[in-house]
Every structure is written in structure tokens, then in C-alpha cells.
Amino acid sequence: MSNKAQYTEDNIRSLDWKEHIRMRPGMYIGKLGDGSSPDDGIYILIKEVLDNCIDEFVMGAGKTIEIKIAENQVSVRDYGRGIPLGKVVDVVSKMNTGGKYDSRAFKKSVGLNGVGTKAVNALSSSFIVESIRDEQSKSASFEYGTLIKESDLAPSKSRRGTKVSFVPDGAIFKHYKFRAEYIVKMIKNYVYLNPGLTIDFNGEKYFSENGLKDLLEDQINESDLLYPIIHLRGEDIEVAMTHSKSQYSEEYHSFVNGQNTTQGGTHQAAFREAYVKTIREFFGKSYDAADIRKSIIAAISIKVMEPVFESQTKTKLGSTDMGGDMPTVRSYINEFIGTQLDNFLHKNQEVASSIQRKILQAEKERKELSGIRKLARERAKKASLHNKKLRDCRVHLGDLKKDRRLESTLFITEGDSASGSITKSRDVNTQAVFSLRGKPLNTYGMTKKIVYENEEFNLLQAALNIEDGLEDLRYNNIVIATDADVDGMHIRLLLITFFLQFFPELIKEGHLYILQTPLFRVRDKKETHYCYSEEERVNAINKLRGKAEITRFKGLGEISPDEFKHFIGEDIRLDPVMLDKATTIEQLLEFYMGKNTPNRQEFIINNLKVELDLAELDA
């Protein structure tokens, strides 16, 4: 008898809209996550609701949006036209239903597929929508996408608009927590792209007068600007750009119809091409493209009719045409930059001179490094063939969907036992491991030459594929996994120093994390609790009424692979490494890695106190 599974009519199922979203959430909102990453699903839910509010503003209806988050409940209120009252239930619960198919109403909208709020509804344990217009209101309540209650039309004296409240489903978004920093960044992007709009987040108001110029000013400390920001505007395009004094690689912030295309796309590629072409023609020199773009920090926003994105999460533009009778995206951007930037440089010779000096400096550095870079690449290629520093994941082999690259993670760890535990317990589809040999070099104050000369950093750079910028970054999440002791903290600090010194955009764009691992295991015959702090340890002992076996994990290598899989799987805890714009990278590096000062010593002692106390307690 054949062992093959039977394939009959009984195997065929038809899922309704909410079942499909809940079964395949990644198709609609990308990766799920717990809120530690800016592209985690809980933020995409907020974005999907906000996109509808922004579309109302763009159409000239409602200049204020209010967002409140308390105890994981999100409320978003706009003052737009309000959903037509007879369609309140349909627009949040029927697929392919919405007002954006009518291009007369929403010619350059963000949400085109009528999916966004349906996904929010299906992935929320509680979802409430209320519309107010024509002095009447109507509301509907849902749980997990199922309609629970629908109100009758009622008189209302409130201002017109729409209010959506939801609580993400904890069964899908496990152990999630909203981080205000990520929400504020999202809000700021919305107001930069929509001057005149005010967004109120938990009582704090955000607005912008100068669009993308404000965005770059918020990103870069003034002392790091090579020259004042160039700000160019057209009917369907806005560009802001400058050069960093300290940064090595290129940094881009790109947007389409208000959507932050974090993975770039045709518009970003066109801008990079147009900038190089314009600079070459302005100076009459065939400078190398890498020298022209080195250290550039730019933001570009375009408006496209019915844009085509590469996924529902809209992180990369695929459109080649602007829409209607407009030219291609490439030719439109080339013409705009070619004319406007050229005009600006002719009128601002000091800026032009600064750019040329930067190009010549980059050219000199590139030529000085050319020989060593070639040798370093060859070493990295040979090393990848026969050493075990990098244990890669299958997401790069081409047999997994592109969207899964959002889940790709590289753990950077030290020591054979620790890397062995992670390697044995990881998800081989999306998780890779890079093993360090001892403490890495302190790169503070060194030039990029050291990246190629030092084997560890050369191989790490090659593994990440970041030599020429983040455009082809191989892992969305880079996680430093070290022991929670003084040596582990030192390794962590040295790695952060390396990234700050040479690849700060990796941190700016939210790719770098610290892995939290438990300090204690508290268990009895029935239950096991993994504790990440002394407080959790005490609570676990109390829960087990004191009859517990307590194990103190002194290092990652002491955690067995069977246990480790719990800490890097669904229950992974990550702390994002973030930069504060108020402090320059030079100031940060000087404080942490420079000469000892009383302030620095006091800071390090205070921040290591928890770990030192735990070690003494264990002894």
C-alpha cells in the first residue's frame, strides 16, 4: 500500500478573509515580532490605520490626527470626512472594499488594495470603528475580525471624522510592547511629508514647516554637516541632501505617496543615478560614482499614481512609471535633479566647492585602500569556503520567499561553546551565527583601513555585505549575543564601537540589537521559570513557594541548546541599540572609549552594578 498522502476533495478548503489573514499574517503585515524592531507587526497595524487618516489630509479634509496608546490599546482619531455611514462595517471587514479604487478620489494614495484596516481588524483581540459625518454617528465592534456589535445611526454633535481603537492579539504578537521611540519616528516621517499636518501622540504635538529639510536636521547633528542642507521641491517630488563629515557610507530616506520605503526601489535607484550624472556634468569630470556619493545623506519623496510595491508592507517601490501621462520614474527624477541641483550649485559656489573637496578626498582614500581592499575580499572569499566563522541561513539560498528576509538575523557571539549552543538551537531558515575569536579590536579613532586589515572585522563586513552601504544588507537584524558579565559587556561595547565608527547608519536604521538571555533558571518538579533579572528570580521563587532549584547561568555556553531555542525563538527578547541625535557619534565614542574620566568611571560602575551584584550574590 502506498504511503503517499491522499489528495481528495476533502483536502480543499476555502478560508474567509479573517481566517486567511490570521493564518498567514506575514503576507499582510510582514514579520510579527514583539515590538523591539521598527518594522514589527504591531507598528504596521498603527501605520495601516494612520495611512487612511493621511489620505484624508491629502484630500484636504482634517489637519489634525490624535493617537493615544495606553495598556496596549491604540486609538487613532482623524477629522476627515468620515466613512460613509452605510459602509462602516464593510470597509473594515470585507476584502477588496474601499474608496481608493476610484482614482478620482485618491489619485496618489498610500493604501490601494483595500486590505490595511481589514488586517488590523483580523489581528486584533478588540477592534472598534466609529464614523461621524452629517451630524450622525455609527460604530461597530469586532473581536478577532468577527462582528460583535453594530450600532444604529445616532445623532452626534462631535466633529466629523473617523476613530479606530484596537488591541493587537497577544496570541499572534507574543510578549509585545510598544516602544514610543519607533512610534515617534513614524509620526515624524508623516509630518515631514505633510507640512501643515499636526499629529498629537499622547498629548505631545508633532508638525513640520520645512518638510524633508526638517527630517535631515532631525537625523544629523549640525556639527556633522559638511554644508547647509540642499532642499529642492517640485510638484510631485521633494529632495533634501547634504554630506556628513564623519560618516563613511551612503544614507537614504525614501518615500512614495507618504510611505517610507525602507528598502528603497526604483525612485531611490534613480536618485542615486541622477545625482552622480549631475555632479559629473557640473564639474566636467568623470569622477567615480562611489566617490561622488560617499558620505551623502539624502531624503527623497515622490508621488506616483497607483504605485506598485513589491509587497503589502510597501517597503520597496517596484513602479517604473509615474502614472497617467507622466514619464518614467527614472526620467522624471533625472530631469528634476539635472535641472534643479545644477541650478542650485551654480548659485551656491561654496557648497559646490565643499562637494568637490569631499569627492577628491574620497578618491584619494579609495586609491590608498584599493590594494588592501582587493586582498581583503580575496581573504574573505577563501575564508567563507573553509572556516566556520559564519554559519549562514537558508533565506539567502533563494528557496524562501523574499518577504522572509525581514526575519533574517545574524547572531554575533564569542567562544566555541556559546556559538555552538546558538547554532544547534537556531532556526536554520532565517538565523545565522558569526563566531568571534576572543575580544575584538578597539577601533576607536582608527581609519577604515583597519576594517580590511583586521581579519575579524573584514569577515564580519563581508558576512553583512555592507562594504558599499546598506542597500544589499544580508540580515535585517544584527544581534550581539555575549555573556552578561564584565567581559561580555566589554565585547558588546567593542562591537558597538566598530559599528558606530564605520557603519552608524546600521544603528540609525534600527538593525542592531542586544540579545537578552536569562540569568537564572528557577524550577521544581512541575514548572520551570527563566528569569532575566533579580526581581524575576524572587517572583519565581515566591510562585513556587520557595521549593525550587535555582541555577545561575554564568555564560551563554552553560545554556544547553534545548534550552537556548526558547530564548532565540518566539520568546526572544531584544534590546535595540539606538542613537540620540543630541549627542554626536564622536562624543559617544570619546565618552565610552576615550581616556578615563571621573564621569565615565562613575557611569560604567553604575551601569555594571546589577551584573556585579549578581555575581557576588552567586558567589
The overall average pLDDT reported for the chain is 84
User: What percentage of the chain reaches a pLDDT higher than 90?
Assistant: 42
β-bridge pairing 64-70 and 198-201: parallel
Inform me whether the pLDDT recorded for 346 exceeds 90. Answer: yes
Q: For the residues 377-398, what does the mean pLDDT come to?
A: 74
Distance CA(289)–CA(303), nearest Å, equals 27
Q: Name the β-bridge partners of 256.
A: 259, 302
pLDDT of residue 7 exceeding 50, the answer is yes
More confident residue, 483 or 401: 483
Lowest average pLDDT, out of 369-373, 382-386, 470-474, goes to 382-386
Helix (H, G, I), strand (E, B) or coil at 513: strand
Contact of 429 with 393, CB cutoff 8 Å:
yes
Task: Name the pLDDT band for 154 (thresholds 50, 70, 90).
Answer: very high
Question: In degrees to the nearest 10, what's the CA dihedral of 104, 59, 262, 183?
Answer: -150
DSSP 178: -
First to last CA, the chain: 63
The reported pLDDT for the residue numbered 370 is 81
Secondary structure of 190-205 in HEC code, one letter for each residue: HHHHCCCCEEEECCEE
The pLDDT of residue 394 is 86
Domain boundaries, the chain: 17-206, 212-366, 388-517+553-618
Rounded CA gap, 127 and 74, in Å?
10
The class level of CATH for 388-517+553-618 reads alpha beta
How far is 20 from 27, CA to CA, in rounded Å? 10
Pairwise CA distance, residues 202 & 223, whole Å: 32
3-state secondary structure 264-302: CEHHHHHHHHHHHHHHHHHHCCCCCHHHHHCCEEEEEEE
pLDDT per residue as tens digits for the range 98-123? 555 454 445 555 554 457 899 999 99
Say if residue 149 is exposed, middle or buried (CB neighbours under 10 Å; 0-12, 13-18, 19+).
exposed
Considering 38-42, 94-98, 333-337, the range whose residues carry the highest mean pLDDT is 333-337
CA dihedral 610→611→617→619, nearest 10 degrees, is -160
Q: State whether CATH 3.30.70.270 applies to domain 212-366.
A: no
Q: Residue 299 has what pLDDT?
A: 96
In sequence order, what are the residues at sequence separation of 6 or more whose Cβ sits closer than 8 angstroms to the Cβ of residue 60? none
Q: How many CB atoms lie within 10 A of CB 511?
A: 24
Phi-psi category of residue 437: left, alpha or beta, with phi > 0 → left and psi -120 to 50 → alpha: beta
In angstroms, the CA 275 to CA 251 distance is: 14
Report whether CATH 3.30.565.10 matches the domain 17-206: yes
**Strand ranges (E), 369-526:** 390-391, 409-414, 431-436, 477-481, 512-516, 520-523
Kindly list the distances between the CA atom of residue 269 and the CA atoms of 241, 317, 322, in Å, as whole numbers in the listed order: 15, 10, 15
Nearest to 186 by CA among 35, 30, 60, 304: 35
pTM of the entire predicted model = 0.81
Phi-psi group of 201: left, alpha or beta (phi > 0 → left; psi -120 to 50 → alpha; rest → beta):
beta
> Rounded to an integer, what distance in angstroms lies between the CA atom of residue 581 and that of residue 232?
24
Cell of 201: 501622540
pLDDT score of 231: 97
In whole angstroms, what separates CA 385 from the centre of its chain?
Answer: 31
The one-letter amino acid code at 520 reads F
